[in-house]
Every structure is written in C-alpha cells, then in structure tokens.
Structure 1
Amino acid sequence: MKYQGLFEPIKIGKLEIKNRYAMAPMGPLGLGDCEGGWNDRGIDYYTRRAQGGIGLIITGVTFSDTEVEKPSFPNTPNSTYNPVQFVRTSREMTERVHAYGSKIFLQMSGGFGRVTIPTNLGEFPPVSASAVPHRWLDKTCRPLTVEEIHGIVESFGKGAYNAKRAGFDGVEIHAVHEGYLIDQFAISFFNQRNDEYGGSLENRLRFAKEIREEIAKTCGWDFPVAMRFSLKSLIKDFREGALPGEEFEEKGRDIEEGIEAAKLLEKYGYDALDVDAGTYDAWWWNHPPMYMEKAPYKEFAKITKEHVNIPVIMAGRVDNPDTALDCLNNDICDMISLGRPTLADPDIVNKIRTNKLSQIRPCISCQEGCMGRIQTYSLINCAVNPQAGKERLNTYNPIVKKKRVLVVGGGVAGCEAARVLAERGHEPVLYEAAGRLGGNLIPGGAPAFKEDDIALAKWYEDEMTRLGVEVHLNTKATEKEILDKSFDAVIMATGSRPKMFSLGDDEKVYSAEQVLLGQKEAGNNVIVVGGGLVGCELALDLAQKGKKVTIVEALDKLMAVNGPLCSANKEMLEKLIPFNGIDVVTGARVTGFNNGVLTATVGEETKELNADSVVLCVGYASENTLYNQYKNELDEVYLLGDARQVSNIMYGIWDAFEVANHI
C-alpha cells in the first residue's frame, strides 16, 4: 500500500489507535440536545466519520462547568448538567463508533472567556484570567475567582468520569490553545494575576495541571488525556494578529516559552499534544483559510515533537496524503488530524487507504459551511457536502421510477444535481456550453491560493465519469433538447454573467473572469472597481504577481455585503490587502475611464487615478433566459444556482442537492 505509514497503529498512553488519522475537533453546534446530551444529528455525524475510516475521533468542544459560563442548550453538550442524559446519548454514539474500530475522545473545555462568540453561548458576563478586553464585544472581562477556578477543575473530574462511563476512550482538554479560557491563564499578555494562578509559567499553567490531576483522581492515570496546544500565539496586540511572514513583536506565547509549556504539560501527565498555532486575535492561524499555505503548522509541530516524548498530533490543511506521510517520515508529528476535510468527505481516510484519491471530494477552505455558520447560526455543516451534519435528513432518497433528466449548465449547481440524480439511479444528461465543467469555479480557482476550487471542478468531472453521466461539452441546449419528450424533468442551471457598464474607454475595461482566465492582460497598474470578495481576491492575486493594484469601492469598507463569511477568512483577507501593497479608496463613485485615467467622486472631491486597465467586480446577474422562455411548456422544471439567485458555491451545491434528491 502506497500510504502504509499512515495506517500503522499508534498508542496514546496505553490506548492503541488503528491508524495515524484523527478527526480534528470542530465545534459541534447543532449536534446537542436540550439536556446536555447528543441529538441524533450528532450521533450520526460522528458515526459517519468512523465509518469512513478515521482512527481517532475527537469531538467538538463540550463543557463540564455549569456555574461560570452557564449552559445555553442545545448549543453544545455538557457532561455534568444531566449526567444520565449525557451518558445515555453518548453511550449510543460511542458504541456505534467502536463498531467501526475507531476510538473516540470527548473534547472538554474550561470555557471560552474573552473569546466567547455571543451568538453561540448566551448572555452571561464574559470572564477571563484578568480584566482584559473581550475579543468581539466592547466589554472588559471579569477575572475568575479562585473558588470559580476550583469549581471548574472539579467539574472536569466529574465530566471525565461521565465520559469514561459513556464509553469514551479518553478526553482532550480544550485548551492551552487558541486563547480559550485556560490559555488566557497560560498567556502572560492576558494574565496579570498576582495569586497562585499568575506570574511564573508554572503558575499560569496551574489551571491545566490541576485539571489533569483531577481527571486522574476520578478516572485513573491510565485514562488517556490529550491537550490541544498552540506553541505560538502570533499576537501583535488585542484583536491584532500577525500574518505569515510578517515581522512583529510577539505579545502572546512565543516559541521559547511554548517549548517550556510543552515540557511542563508532559510532566503534568498529559498523554498527547494536539498542536497548532494562533489565538482568536490571529484567528486565521487556528482556522486556516485558503489564503494560508497547506500544512501551516509543520514548523510548530516539529519543534514540539523535538522536546517531548508523547505523541504529537497535527491538524491544518493536511488533506494531501503525500504531505501527511512526509510529516510522519520526517518526525514532524505522529498523527495527522483532519477537520474540514472529513466534513467535505467523511470517507477520505478509506479512500486514501485504497488509493482512490480522485474520488475524494476536496475541502475548499471557504469555511462558509462550517465556521461561518457556527459563528452566525450556531450550526456546523459543509459548503461542498450537503450531508455533513445532516446525515439522516439528507440521506439519498430511493427512487420509485427511473427518470431521464436534462441538466442545462455544468457549473457547481448543474454538476451537483447530475451527481445526486445519478447516485440515486436516475439518468441525467448534462449540457454545458463551455469546454469544461465547473462554471465560475474555473476563473474563481485561477489564483494560486484558490487551487482547491479547481480541484472541486476536477472532482465533479471525475464523478460524472465514474457515475456514467452523459455529458455534452461545448454544446448549448436548444429548444430541441429542452422540449424533448424523452426527458421527464429539466433542470436549468445556466449560471450568471458579470455585470458590466461603460466607463468611456471600454477597450481597457475588463471583467474579473477575463483577467483571471488570461483572456485579457491587465497591465502593470490595475484598478479593481468593487471591493467585495471577488474584487479583493482578484486584487490579491494580481498584487502577488507583482502588479500595482488599487481597489475602488463605493461603500465605506471592503466586503461589506458578503457573508456570512468566517471571521478567519474575512479578517485575513482584509489584512492581506495592505500587507501586499494594495491601495484602497472607499466611498468612491466611479464616473469614467479615459486616456488611462479613472475618475471617481469621493465625497465632494474628484479623484483621478492612473491605470493600464480597469477590472469591474461589481457583481453578477442571473442568466435565466432559457428558463423564462420554456418554463410554461414543461411539466417538471427547476431553476438552480446563480440562474435562480446569485449566491455562492455553498448555496449552489445545497440547493441542487435538495432538488435532485427529491426528483
């Protein structure tokens, strides 16, 4: 087997795990019930990942304290609130997970403290180690009392005991990592206490030490306990994080102290370190967007592994099995942790084991279905996999009668519709006017940092072949095909077209698609009109290619109407704009472009900006002409994707799945 090294067993403490893959913890929002247990969605969700071959599942964050950060059910489970309910529902989950030979750890949190996302966890006053600013709210946190710390520690012992009773194979502590509450004690920037929990590193780690000892009291030292651990914080200041490659003064935990912390955590009895880097103040590090390189924690994991003798687990965009194997072979880490890739494809580990790499549905690191929805709606899903977090609800429906279905358009909506129809046993026939499938994935995936968009388009191409879907490229569907009585239903997924308007000298005014696909040469000095997601990503791509770029935006800030975007993606992109020397003019109304000069009105002032070209990124218009022309002549017809409403990849895929799964 090519990837044999990824499928060797490993031990955490005395617990043997069948392979080197863990499922990284991701907030289980929407997967709990009103009594602190797991709902059917949660049980199905984790069981499905075990079925897909993961060696160790680490649940998303759960709580044991019920006094300081009071539970707000059914957001996340709590192992002490109603122990009977927690054990009963957890037992059902762990038994199903164990049926597939997987092990499962409960991730237990000491609390969020200053990084509490208000929409998720209720209205309790924010707390922290000291009186420091909250990450999101205009509030100062209240320092925890010693009695409250002792209460949280005691709850860990009780919660871990309930987890052990429920069949969990161990727990992971959340965390000396990402700036959560226990990390707020560990980092001197947040901890200005002068009691036994402040001052020296040992004092600041006392909270973590006491948690490990309390769990040993209730569960024994043989019960495995891992620690989620960030070696380096990458904090420039409160709410200010550092970008990759940026020179700055570390205000949080630097590598030297991180090494000492790792050694102490091993000394305290932790059985593994689950390593990354960053904090909520530099959130893109802990939840790396597509703008972050693949496997960004390699340096931090390797340093950690060089200084401890317990297993090191590493997450962070390590979806490529060759990269994963190199990390093991080069002593960077001992296990690979996959979070978002297991949402995109729960079978990723089995597909790697059987070398079916072309069948792996890629994660595109958009974070719109996972972290974006967690932040905004307290739900965890996946943009490219509509079944994630909805395994039972969105199971493939059996068909009563096989139908022949015409699909017009080969963007994500058309491809997803055809894929789902074929999976269910229908006979889709797909027509695409362009020479390849993917629609807006193709120009959108042109920048180097959007490679996974191209991978998704390639995956759809491969799926059409695997499923035997009849595909007609370079072919526009005409009245003959649309009204062909051999089709039982028609799906119109004809996409959208970029909005364009005249500025005068229109020979040098282009669409983003024309520039991204290399159909037009933008020149060395480029003005991008429109500061939404498309405009900002295009500007970043051009700047990274050495162009001088200016973004001109009508609103008062960039990306004002995009969403819901995960804060990690949006904030990183916002900071990458000035970091890459891109100028920004906001509150500007463009009035013309002539003789290489763009004119724009900013307040009472008229600005003149020199440019070799202007690229319009001012949105898209639905292309629904065929639907409107024939909708009343067809018995069963559906309008999907941008043709119905201009949106994003996620809703194009989700809507297509919903419709195609019910034909």
Structure 2
Amino acid sequence: MERKMHMTQYKELFQQAQIGKLKLKNKTSMAPMGPVGYADAFGAFDQRLQDYYVERARHGVGLIITGICSVDVNIEGMSTAGIPCPTVEPLKFVHNAYQMNERVHAYGAKIFLQLTGGLGRSALPGFTTKQIAPSEQGNRFDPSVTHREMTKEEIMNLIQKFVMSAVVAKRSGFDGVEVHAVHEGYLLDQFAISLYNHREDEFGGSLENRLRVSTMIVQGIKKACGKDFPVSLRYSLKSCMKGLRQGGLPGEEYEEAGKDIEEGIEAAKILVAAGYDALNVDAGTYDSWYWNHPPMYFEDGCYREFGEILKKAVDVPIILAGKMENPQMAVEALGKSCDIVSYGRQLLCDAEYVEKMRTGRLDEVRPCLGCHEGCLGRIGNGPVSCAVNPACGRETIYGIVPAAVKKTILVIGGGVAGLEVARTASIAGHKVILCEKSDALGGNLIPGGVPHFKRNDHKLIAYYKRQMELLGVDVRYNTVVTADSAAQYEADVIVVATGSKAKKINLPGSGKTVTAEEVLLDKVSCSDKVLMVGGGLVGCETALWLAQQGKEVNVVEVLPELLGGHGALPHMNEFMLYDLLKYHKIGIYTNAQIVETGDAVTIVKKDDETIELPSETIILSVGYDSDDQLYSELKDLEIPVYNIGDSQRVHNIMYAIWDAYELARNI
C-alpha cells in the first residue's frame, strides 16, 4: 500500500514526454557527464561505456543523453582514447554504438549522442596539444598558455564535423543528438560570449554573429539528417561570473561579466528559431566552474529559476538538472521550470534511482555527496566513476558476485568502511556480524554531516543503516571487541575498521582548546569569536559553518596554502569553498604559527608580522591519526585479518568505500 501511494505521489514524472516528434516513456533523463577514459583506440564506445548506459536504461530512465563526444579530435589534438569521437573511424563507432542502442531500446529508453566542438581556452592543462579559441586569449587554468585565434577555414571544418557526427549518430541508432554548444564556457560558448569573442568577421560582433556557429550547426544537421531528427542544445542561460577566472556565488550581488539573463533569453530565442528542438538548461562557465558542477555547498534545485525564465521565453521542451533528487521538488518543477527532469551524479551513485523513486523505495537510494572525488576529480587520473559507487563505469567487470564459499565475517567498526564491507560481503552471500562500540553507525560522518551543506553525509549513513536491515546484517551496538573477545564470534575472517581519532596538540599559552568534532557534535559551547587552528578541509568547512551562524572566525594554517594546496580537492569544490570563505569574511592566515594563546586573544606570527586575533574559542583541526591498535593485536591470528578505512590509512570517503568494496567482494 505504501509503495502504491508513492507511485501516485510522483506519477507526473512517469507520464510521457515529447521532444519534436520523438516520444519518451517518462519525464526523466540522464544528464550528460563526460565519458573521459571510455573510448577505445578507434574513438568508439568501449564495452564499459556501453554497459554503463545500458545499466541506467535498465532501471527506468526515459532519456539518456551521453557525455560529450568530440566531433574532431584533431582540432585540439586530443587523444582518441580520451573521449569518443564519431569521425575517427565512423564504421567502428557505428558498430559499437549500434549494439549498445539496441540494448538501450529494449528497455523503452531513448538515447541522444552529445557532440562537442572542444574546450578552447577552458582546456585543462595537458588535455589538448593544440591551443585554439575564437580569439587569442590565455588559458582559463594557466594564463601563461596562449590560445590562438581560429581561422575561418577551421570554423567551417568544425561545423561540417558536427554534421558528419550527427549522420554517424543517426546511423548508429541514436534517437537524436545534443549539441554541446552555448554552455559552460566551452569552445562554442566562447564564440557566443563577447568577453571571449573579439572577432570582426561574420562569427563575431553582434549576438547573431556570435551564435552563427551554433545556428549553422543545427541547420546543417537538420539538412543532413532530416527535419524530424531531434537536436537538443546544452544551454547556459547565465555565465554567473564576475570576471575571468572569478565566479559569482548564489545570492551574491555582482555585475555579470559574461552573458546576463537578458542576453541569455535573446540568444535562446535565436537558437530555437534556428531549429533546436529542446534546451538542456544550466548556468555558468569554466570561469565560474562550480555553477556547472554544483558542489555540496549549493542548495537543491539550483537551476530552477533559470528553467522558469526560459519556459516563458521559448516554446520547446526544457530539460533541467541541478540537484533535483527531491521527488516532490521535481514534480513541482514540471510545467513551471522544465518539461523533463534530468539527473546527473545521482545516477552515477545509484543506477536504480529512477526505479526506486517510482516504486517508493527512496530509503534505499544511495545519495550523491557533491564531493566530485569519484567523477570529475578523477579526470586525468582515471575514468569517471563515483565516490560512493565503486562499480560505476565498470558495471559488468566489477560487480558483486556470489561467493563460492560462504563465510562468517566479523566487521569491527561501524564507520563508512565497515558498513561498505558489511554491505558488499552480505550481497556476496556471507554471514556478517558488525560490532560498533557506540550506539550509532557512521563514524566520522556523524560530525562531518552536521553542517547543512554536508547533510547528504547523514543521508549516506541512513542508506547504509537501511541496507543493513534489508540484508540481514547482525549489527551489534555498544559492543567493544578486544583481542580476547574476538574468538567468541567464531569468524572465518575479521575486518578491522576502527577508524581514526582527531589529533590533539599542545599550544603555547593559557588558552584552552577543543576539537572540531566536539564543536560539531555540540559537546562544547562555542563563543562568537573563534580561532580555527588548521586550514584543511575539516577546518575550513567547520569555519564556514560557524561563520554562517554569525560568528567571527579566523583560520590559522602553518602551510602556504589551505585545503592541502591547489588540486588536493576537485577544482569546483576548491574554488567555491575559497569564495565562500571570502564572502563570509573569514580571516585566512597561511604560513602562520601560534606564538601564544590566551583566554580571549591569540598571538600569531605570519611571515615577519605579529598579529593578535580574537580567540574566545580555539578549535583544533590538525588532522587525524589511524586507530589501528586493535588490528595490531589481531593481525597474527590464524585466520585472515584485514585492516580497512581510516584505521589503515587516513583518507577521504571515496577511498574508505572503494577499499572496503575491493576487499569485501574478494573475501
């Protein structure tokens, strides 16, 4: 009865939709996410990428829009194994894609191939060997790298390669294509925005001229593939940037340096008139990168206002993503902000999301944390995947298989690593006993998920608790396992996942210190003038959380940079957190040391300058130490004993889960 109620509640999402003359079985879509690392040597979809899309089709998505495929890898000198490209070896591309699309269509889903003209000045260093742009300018990430102006011949060749790619896509069985154009500050968006485009020919100057590449592309595709072959457009209504390499935060007042809403509306009308059948809407550019790939600091439904504006301006379907995982929000957005609701990272985390939503099993959904560690954070180091779903992108080669020999496994510790071991091992058929010394599961995610912007950490705990119930894991709370008591569980394998403990250091002076964990868990009171000692991720996020409560916060970090240095976090998370710290007027003192603490003031030395900072509360956030004592006491038993998670090495959530999954699926 409860599941029927849920199905009725969200039935609007499961009614038919339409793009041009193409009918979709429901109003859900898989958002395009770059398939970096999933092309074979011929530029075709490799088997892993095929399985990745089929898995989402299998679980109810109405429309799949693939991640970007280059129309010509030679334009910027990309590797053929970087992202797929229909024009490298068209027959090979057709061969691989056609068999994938046959499988996708078996589930009633439709699929569009997304085509990109390239990165231009937004290319990550090392990703391309030829640096081009609409006009000469510096690279977004490394201004010392200059991108030369494209010739008219190169532009016309690019347009033709879009058309050729669409022809290949149609032959491959795709139901339509999406042009990755006036969006995110990629090459075609650079043509569209006057800040980047200083050309004086027919591809520069007026808005119509700056959009000419994109309008010629859709006109060429329609001529080659037929007027009824659907072409959607990935479209950013607003650039959300203060200037080059500087984003504007949600709610912040600033003068738009790129494309403002007024121009965005005008451009949308021109593009729809040219022939685009749908707009796949978001906001931002690489200069405001966190808008295109919203970290956890964004609120849910962050693009709804942009979709609502465009719904009033154009008469084609609006596809809208942007943290739309709340089904009630998605239902309310239909007809007002969009016609189709799109899900991106949520479908990386949980390929079954749409079907779970349809059947009222939201408590079984594995949530996206907004961390970017497993998806965009892996570009350059590995294929796109997901921090909380290790099997993402390798569904058929890295799934959980039934164990040949069923064992009794004792898991010691109910943090995220221990929970993932218990989940995976139980699915494989083992009997699992999980012992947690406290009265709650979650470990460091419990304090970590306290700030509103980290709320999905607590959703991840809830997901694991529900999995323990569904899988019948024997969870024993308030149970301390010792070297002496371990034998009573008669386990065949022991997995130690005892986590880590916050480091404590002695500071000079009379000031009393507390840990970030104690403050987050409200074990100690926190005054209005706070000094945070340690500028890593925990320190900075705790500082932000306190500043959002109206407290005066200063951060002191001994190293030259916060957050472990540039690149330690995925760029979009790093950029946004830095901007938020600045926006909330949090004092940042790097290369600084504590000279003396007091009850209300702390003396800090930065370079050759001595500074007095208010410090009614001094919070330590100087890292964690592995709690591996129990493992040391058990490791020499005559049965296998493993150490996993922070008790093995202090790392992030992704590696706690990935290491645990690797271990448990092979026990």
TM over 0.5: yes
Which structure 2 residues correspond to residues 247-286 of structure 1 after superposition, within 5 A?
Answer: 247-286=253-292
What is the distance in 1 between the residues matched to 2:469 and 2:596?
A: 48
User: Does the 8 Å CA contact 1:528/1:617 hold for their aligned counterparts?
Assistant: yes
Which residue of the partner structure matches residue 184 of structure 1?
Answer: 190
Which structure 2 residues correspond to residues 216-615 of structure 1 after superposition, within 5 A?
Answer: 216-329=222-335, 331-374=336-379, 376-484=380-488, 486-503=490-507, 508-561=512-565, 564-615=568-619
Deviation at 1:94, TM superposition (A): 0.8
What is the distance in 1 between the residues matched to 2:290 and 2:415?
A: 29
TM norm structure 2: 0.97
What is the distance in 1 between the residues matched to 2:173 and 2:594?
A: 63
Deviation at 1:505, TM superposition (A): 6.1
User: Does the 8 Å CA contact 2:73/2:80 hold for their aligned counterparts?
Assistant: no
What is the distance in 1 between the residues matched to 2:520 and 2:526?
A: 10
Residues 224 and 553 of structure 1: CA distance in aligned 2, closer, same or farther (over 3 Å): same
Q: 2:148 matched to 1:142?
A: yes
Q: For structure 1, which runs of at least 5 residues remain unmatched after alignment?
A: none
What is the distance in 2 between the residues matched to 1:144 and 1:200?
A: 18
Q: 2:100 matched to 1:93?
A: yes
Q: Which secondary structure state, in structure 2, belongs to the residue aligned with residue 647 of structure 1?
A: coil
Report Cα offsets for 1:15-53 as digits up to 9, x if no partner. Answer: 111111110001101211111001111111111111121
User: Does the 8 Å CA contact 1:373/1:564 hold for their aligned counterparts?
Assistant: no
Q: Which secondary structure state, in structure 1, belongs to the residue aligned with residue 491 of structure 2?
A: coil
Deviation at 1:643, TM superposition (A): 0.2
Structure 1: which amino acid aligns with 2:258? G
Deviation at 1:66, TM superposition (A): 4.0
Q: Which secondary structure state, in structure 1, belongs to the residue aligned with residue 347 of structure 2?
A: helix
**Bigger shift: 269-278 or 602-611?**
602-611
Q: Which secondary structure state, in structure 2, belongs to the residue aligned with residue 523 of structure 1?
A: coil
Which residue of the partner structure matches residue 120 of structure 2?
Answer: 113
User: Does the 8 Å CA contact 1:512/1:617 hold for their aligned counterparts?
Assistant: yes
Which structure 2 residues correspond to residues 620-659 of structure 1 after superposition, within 5 A?
Answer: 620-659=624-663
Structure 2: which amino acid aligns with 1:282? S
User: Does the 8 Å CA contact 1:556/1:587 hold for their aligned counterparts?
Assistant: yes
User: Does the 8 Å CA contact 2:510/2:599 hold for their aligned counterparts?
Assistant: no
Which residue of the partner structure matches residue 49 of structure 1?
Answer: 56
Q: Which secondary structure state, in structure 2, belongs to the residue aligned with residue 236 of structure 1?
A: strand
Deviation at 1:431, TM superposition (A): 0.7
Which residue of the partner structure matches residue 82 of structure 1?
Answer: 89
Which residue of the partner structure matches residue 5 of structure 2?
Answer: none
What is the distance in 1 between the residues matched to 2:591 and 2:398?
A: 44
Q: How many residues are paired up? A: 659
Structure 1: which amino acid aligns with 2:26? N
Structure 2: which amino acid aligns with 1:130? S
TM norm structure 1: 0.98
What is the distance in 2 between the residues matched to 1:607 and 1:634?
A: 58
Q: Which secondary structure state, in structure 2, belongs to the residue aligned with residue 535 of structure 1?
A: helix
Deviation at 1:483, TM superposition (A): 2.3
Deviation at 1:522, TM superposition (A): 1.7
Report Cα offsets for 1:589-616 as digits up to 9, x if no partner. Answer: 2243233322333223433322111111
User: Does the 8 Å CA contact 1:495/1:622 hold for their aligned counterparts?
Assistant: yes
**Bigger shift: 64-73 or 510-519?**
64-73
Deviation at 1:477, TM superposition (A): 1.3
Report Cα offsets for 1:631-660 as digits up to 9, x if no partner. Answer: 112421110000000000000000000000
User: Does the 8 Å CA contact 1:172/1:228 hold for their aligned counterparts?
Assistant: yes
What is the distance in 1 between the residues matched to 2:536 and 2:356?
A: 37
Q: Which secondary structure state, in structure 2, belongs to the residue aligned with residue 313 of structure 1?
A: strand
Q: 2:188 matched to 1:168?
A: no
User: Does the 8 Å CA contact 1:75/1:378 hold for their aligned counterparts?
Assistant: no
Q: Which secondary structure state, in structure 1, belongs to the residue aligned with residue 495 of structure 2?
A: strand
Deviation at 1:98, TM superposition (A): 0.9
User: Does the 8 Å CA contact 2:277/2:317 hold for their aligned counterparts?
Assistant: yes
Q: Which secondary structure state, in structure 2, belongs to the residue aligned with residue 60 of structure 1?
A: coil
Deviation at 1:553, TM superposition (A): 0.6
Report Cα offsets for 1:553-595 as digits up to 9, x if no partner. Answer: 1111211348642111000001111100101111112243233
Report Cα offsets for 1:226-260 as digits up to 9, x if no partner. Answer: 00000000121111111111111111110001001
What is the distance in 2 between the residues matched to 1:244 and 1:78?
A: 35
Q: For structure 2, which runs of at least 5 residues remain unmatched after alignment?
A: 1-7
Q: 2:213 matched to 1:207?
A: yes
Structure 2: which amino acid aligns with 1:336? V
Deviation at 1:485, TM superposition (A): 6.2
Q: Which secondary structure state, in structure 2, belongs to the residue aligned with residue 319 of structure 1?
A: coil
Q: 2:32 matched to 1:25?
A: yes
Which residue of the partner structure matches residue 37 of structure 1?
Answer: 44
Report Cα offsets for 1:94-132 as digits up to 9, x if no partner. Answer: 11111111111000001111101224x3322x2111112
User: Does the 8 Å CA contact 1:133/1:238 hold for their aligned counterparts?
Assistant: no
Structure 1: which amino acid aligns with 2:255? E
What is the distance in 1 between the residues matched to 2:27 and 2:424?
A: 32
User: Does the 8 Å CA contact 2:511/2:598 hold for their aligned counterparts?
Assistant: no
Report Cα offsets for 1:421-466 as digits up to 9, x if no partner. Answer: 1111111100111211111111000001111001001111111111
Structure 2: which amino acid aligns with 1:274? N
User: Does the 8 Å CA contact 2:417/2:497 hold for their aligned counterparts?
Assistant: yes
What is the distance in 2 between the residues matched to 1:313 and 1:432?
A: 44
What is the distance in 2 between the residues matched to 1:182 and 1:531?
A: 38
What is the distance in 1 between the residues matched to 2:382 and 2:275?
A: 34
RMSD value over aligned CA atoms? 1.3
Q: 2:14 matched to 1:7?
A: yes
What is the distance in 1 between the residues matched to 2:605 and 2:363?
A: 50
What is the distance in 2 between the residues matched to 1:427 and 1:51?
A: 29
Structure 1: which amino acid aligns with 2:515? S
User: Does the 8 Å CA contact 2:68/2:114 hold for their aligned counterparts?
Assistant: yes
What is the distance in 2 between the residues matched to 1:601 and 1:253?
A: 44
Residues 66 and 612 of structure 1: CA distance in aligned 2, closer, same or farther (over 3 Å): closer
Structure 2: which amino acid aligns with 1:430? L
What is the distance in 2 between the residues matched to 1:243 and 1:4?
A: 34
What is the distance in 2 between the residues matched to 1:279 and 1:431?
A: 47
**Bigger shift: 201-210 or 128-137?**
128-137
User: Does the 8 Å CA contact 2:296/2:369 hold for their aligned counterparts?
Assistant: yes
Q: 2:157 aligns with which of 145, 151, 162?
A: 151
Deviation at 1:262, TM superposition (A): 0.8
